[in-house]
Structure 1
Amino acid sequence: MNEAFGPDATSACAITCYRTPRHHHIILWTVLAVGLLAVAWSVLA
């Protein structure tokens, strides 16, 4: 899952968000936030 980070992943996420019902956006943002926290943690650790 971590290999998904990058420009391609950003584009895919944008497309997915546009095609995803609004009630799913909370899940997507939560996953994104957790992923960013994991990256920040590994960088700062």
Structure 2
Amino acid sequence: MKKIFFKLLAKLNKLILPSYTKQGLDLSKASKLQLAIFGWKLYVTKNALD
């Protein structure tokens, strides 16, 4: 059940949130909001793959 939830959430994130890797964002110059979004997407992706 948890894995299904995170897979659905990952698809939703892909539709709504920006992709900073495609934009070539330098993480050392990213704002706090950009880092929070990047971390959230990383957390969701990690849990969707487990």
Normalised by the size of structure 1, how large is the TM-score?
A: 0.53
Query: SS of the counterpart of 1:14?
Result: coil
Label 1:28 to 1:13 Cα distance change in 2 as closer, same or farther (>3 A).
farther
* 1:13 Cα deviation after fit: 4.4
Q: In proportion to residue count, which structure has more helix?
A: 1
Alignment identity in percent?
6
CA-based RMSD of the aligned residues comes to 3.0
Note the residue ranges of structure 1 that are not aligned, 5 or more in a row: none
2:38 aligns with: 32
- Over 4 Å off, 4+ runs: none
Normalised by the size of structure 2, how large is the TM-score?
A: 0.49
Q: How many residue pairs align between the two structures? A: 35
Note the residue ranges of structure 2 that are not aligned, 5 or more in a row: 1-12
